[in-house]
Amino acid sequence: MNWKVIVGISLLVVVSVSAGLYYGVPAAANSTGQNAFTLTLVLASLESPNSTLSGQYVFFQQENGVLESSAVINAPLGRLVRIVIINHDPGTDSLLTPSANSVTGTLNDQMQLFVGTSVPSADITSGTGSSVCSQLGGSDISHTFTTSTGLNIPIAPNSTEVTYTYFNTPGTISWGCMCECGQFSMSTPGWMMGEIVVAPSY
Ligand SMILES: [Cu+2]
């Protein structure tokens, strides 16, 4: 690909959230010594030779500090997965479905929300500096990370979000964004949609 990834300078945006009462990794996961598998997704803008697509925000997988295509995401079967979403997009988009503002399919149907995109990794693990929420305001959403199995994570502008979930059915499922963020983006694997391959070997 010739596209260069441009990570914009983030401005702090105060995001209104509704706070939940409890958020945590299940004790069973810790007491068995099970370490969470971390899936880091980064929403960053593209510089494209096609000017009409330039500046579009796209999901990437971040592995070992490198941004890679999100067209095919690997997830471990039956293992606790920590999903970290780092969103550099300062803008909002309309939801395709009003209920996509709710967090579903995560532990307690909640997520941890940090303001900004430069959260230290220690805070991502501990949650220090985050608020806990089960939904976002419908007009405070840039994109969503939504799967065909009922996982739905609404993503606030200029934010970092942490959720925990399990993928308990082996095979290939689809993921996509439930915002009207661009016809090309929404129909192009590795932009706002793709596959998740759930297998025991990761
Ligand atoms: Cu989107």
pLDDT of res. 23: 58
- What is the distance in A from the centroid of ligand 1 to the CA of 185? 7
- What is the distance in A from the centroid of ligand 1 to the CA of 178? 6
Kindly indicate the confidence band of residue 54, based on its pLDDT and cuts at 50, 70 and 90.
confident
Kindly indicate the confidence band of residue 155, based on its pLDDT and cuts at 50, 70 and 90.
very high
Mean pLDDT (whole number) for 108-121: 96
The CATH label, of 3.40.50.720, 2.40.110.20, 2.40.30.130, 2.60.40.420, for the domain at 4-199 is 2.60.40.420
> pTM for this structure?
0.84
**DSSP, residue by residue, the chain:** --PEEE-PPPPP----EEE-S-----HHHHHTTPPPEEEEEEEEEEE-SSTTTTT-EEEEEEETTEEEE-SEEEEEBTS-EEEEEEE-------BSSGGGGB-BSSGGG-EEEEESS---HHHHHH-TT-EEEEEE-TTS-SEEEEETTS-EEEE-TTEEEEEEE-B-S-EEEEEE--B---HHHHTSBTTTEEEEEEETT-
- What is the distance in A from the centroid of ligand 1 to the CA of 39? 18
Mean pLDDT (whole number) for 38-49: 88
Please state the domain extents for the chain: 4-199
| CA-wise closest residue to 17 among 103, 122, 119 | 103
- What is the distance in A from the centroid of ligand 1 to the CA of 14? 20
- Whether pLDDT at 47 is above 80: no
- Whether pLDDT at 146 is above 50: yes
- What is the distance in A from the centroid of ligand 1 to the CA of 193? 9
- Whether pLDDT at 160 is above 80: yes
- Whether pLDDT at 80 is above 60: yes
- What is the distance in A from the centroid of ligand 1 to the CA of 26? 30
